[in-house]
Amino acid sequence: MSSFVPLGSGHAPGKIILFGEHAVVYGKPAIAAPLPQLLAHAMVYRDQHCLIEATDLNRTIDVAAADQDDPFACSVRLVCSELGEPLPPWRIVVHSDIPIASGLGSGAAIAAAIIRAMLHAFGATLSLTRLSELVYEVEKLHHGTPSGIDNMVVVYGQPLWFVRGRPPEPFNVGAPLHLLIADSGVSSPTRVTVATVRKGWQADRTAYEIDFDSIGELVHSARREIEAGNILALGRLMDENQKALTKLDVSSSELEGLITAARSSGALGAKLSGGGRGGNMIALVEHPDQASVANALAKAGAKAVLATTLHAED
């Protein structure tokens, strides 16, 4: 019987990638931001065994008996081995608002929420760097060769400049960036799109590396424009980034439909965000919640449209 008084709780946000997905796996920079409107939550209660109750999936996992590659159980085991503790007699109840396999960092946020809730219940703390490293271990189960951008952003909870293998850099946002995020409704595991790009790269490294280089340059320009608060130029760079992602074959007709609808209804630029082939796209707009674009996205088949603003102080 679990008691109703929580021993600990933790949460972590979803994330969007503004620029540089896929090329970031090959060492190019990327820019990402948290999405605090969508959160993963975990609560720890006393129980008889170590259990995870994934309420959205209708699953209860017995951690001692779970497969080595179960991401929920892995999150719990990582905390125990980090702290030198045996599996505790706890029920960890997990719930997430972040849609799965849709480019919004759901796997990383769930792992971060579980780890934070357990640390809270143990009365322990870890640095953001270490916490992010633990979440990265779980990310590897989700998609093999992750760049590490998702774990960084969901753990740090602020817009970041990220290069694989380096500490993340926060940067200045010169003018508020109003974004609409639309869900194509197509679930697309990142593992598959990352593998598609890898296959292409293995078949023609020279051509792919030219494309990755040009994405890298574009991400450098995007950082300058974000810092300068030049949103018109930023919109154009989003369009260029989308062109490069289409060339890498990670776009889809559903995403293209949403991107076209956003641009033709007044967005300054639009692109897919995350692994692609499905999941979410983002559109840069002049005004918060810009109705013309939000309505056009809904009409073009978006399953959900969310508004977010990146502020200078974020």
Measured distance CA(18)–CA(137) in Å, rounded: 24
Q: Decide: is 149 part of the binding site for ligand PMV (CB under 6 A).
A: yes
Determine which residue in the list 25, 259, 305, 310 makes contact with ligand PMV, applying CB under 6 A: 25
Per the structure block, which two tokens stand in for 307?
């508004």
Determine which residue in the list 7, 8, 12, 21 makes contact with ligand PMV, applying CB under 6 A: 21
User: Tokens 């934070």 map to which residue?
Assistant: 116
DSSP 197-227: HHHHHHH-HHHHHHHHHHHHHHHHHHHHHHH
Q: Decide: is 275 part of the binding site for ligand PMV (CB under 6 A).
A: yes
Q: Decide: is 183 part of the binding site for ligand PMV (CB under 6 A).
A: no
Centroid of chain to Cα 40:
12
Site map 28..67 versus ligand PMV, x via CB under 6 A? ----------------------------------------
Shortest Cβ 146–ligand PMV spacing (Å): 4
Measured distance CA(119)–CA(101) in Å, rounded: 27
Using CB under 6 A, which of the segments 56-64, 143-151, 258-266, 281-289 binds ligand PMV? Answer: 143-151
Find the Cα–Cα–Cα–Cα dihedral 144, 208, 186, 21, rounded to 10°: 70
Using CB under 6 A, which of the segments 78-86, 129-137, 141-149, 219-227 binds ligand PMV? Answer: 141-149
Query: Is 97 an active-site residue?
Result: no
Q: Decide: is 251 part of the binding site for ligand PMV (CB under 6 A).
A: no
User: Would you say 80 or 100 has its CB closer to ligand PMV?
Assistant: 100
DSSP β-ladder status, 90-96 and 177-183: unpaired
User: Would you say 93 or 153 has its CB closer to ligand PMV?
Assistant: 153
Q: Decide: is 190 part of the binding site for ligand PMV (CB under 6 A).
A: yes
Nearest to 70 by CA among 138, 147, 155, 130: 138
Of residues 216-245, those binding ligand PMV (CB under 6 A): none
Angle, CA of 181, 182 and 184, to the nearest 5° = 145
Nearest to 18 by CA among 277, 313, 308, 312: 308
**First CA to last CA across the chain, in angstroms?**
42
- Spot the catalytic one: 47, 70, 150, 183: 150
User: Would you say 89 or 144 has its CB closer to ligand PMV?
Assistant: 144
Site map 192..221 versus ligand PMV, x via CB under 6 A? --x---------------------------
Measured distance CA(19)–CA(35) in Å, rounded: 15
Q: What residue ranges bind ligand PMV (CB under 6 A)? A: 17, 21-22, 24-25, 103, 105, 146-147, 149-150, 190, 194, 274-275
Active-site positions?
150
